Amino acid sequence: MLNRTGVPTADDLKTVSPSEERVNRGPVAMIECFQKIPCNPCTEACKQGAIQLMEDINDLPILDFDKCNGCGVCLSRCPGLAIFIVDGSYSDTEALVRIPFEYYPVPQVGEKVIGLNRAGKELGTFEISKVQSGGQKNKTFTIWLIVPKNLAMDVRSIRLGGVRHAN
Tens-digit pLDDT profile for residues 110-131: 999 999 999 999 999 999 999 9
Residue 138 is predicted with a pLDDT of: 79
Confidence check: pLDDT of 52 > 80: yes
Tens-digit pLDDT profile for residues 75-91: 999 999 999 999 999 99
| E strand map for the chain | 28-31, 83-87, 94-101, 112-116, 122-132, 141-148, 157-159
Q: How many CB atoms lie within 10 A of CB 150?
A: 10
Cβ(85)–Cβ(155) below 8 Å? no
How far is residue 13 from each of residues 8, 17, 164, measured CA to CA in Å? Answer: 7, 6, 28
Residue 166 is predicted with a pLDDT of: 57
Per-residue confidence at 149, pLDDT binned at 50, 70, 90? very high
Residue 165 is predicted with a pLDDT of: 59
Task: Give the pLDDT mean for 25-46.
Answer: 95
Q: Model's pTM, two decimal places?
A: 0.91
